[in-house]
Structure 1
Amino acid sequence: MSTHLPASPPDAVQELLARLAHLPDTLDASATHKPQRPRAEMALAAGRFATAFAEAPKPGRWTPKLADTFRLIARGRPAQQVGEELGISLHTVRLRRSQVYQHLGVSDRHLAVLVGLAHRVVPVEHVASPLELPPLGTYEIDTLALRASGMAPMEIAAQLGIPVDTIKSRLRRAAAKLNQPSVFNAVVSGAANGLFDFPGLPRLPATPEPASPAASSRSSGTGVGPEAAQ
Structure 2
Amino acid sequence: MNRTLAMETQTNKNMKKYILYILLCIGIFSCKEDTLELYDSTQKSLNFAKTLTDKNGSALEIFGPEEDYPKEYSFNAHFLGTDANDYIDTIPVRLSGLIDYTNDRTYQIRVNPEKSKNAIKNVHYTLNETQIFRKGLYQDSLMVTIHTKAMDETSNYKLYIELIPNENFESGIPEYQYVEVSFTKNLEDPPAFWTNSSKLNKLTYHPKKCAIFLEISGITDPNWSDNGATIQLDYWISLATQWFIDHEEYDENGNRIYFDE
TM-score range, shorter chain: under 0.3
After TM superposition, the score normalised by the length of structure 1 is 0.25
Identify, as 1 or 2, the structure richer in strand: 2
Higher relative contact order (CA 8 A, sep 6+): 1
Identify, as 1 or 2, the structure richer in helix: 1
After TM superposition, the score normalised by the length of structure 2 is 0.23
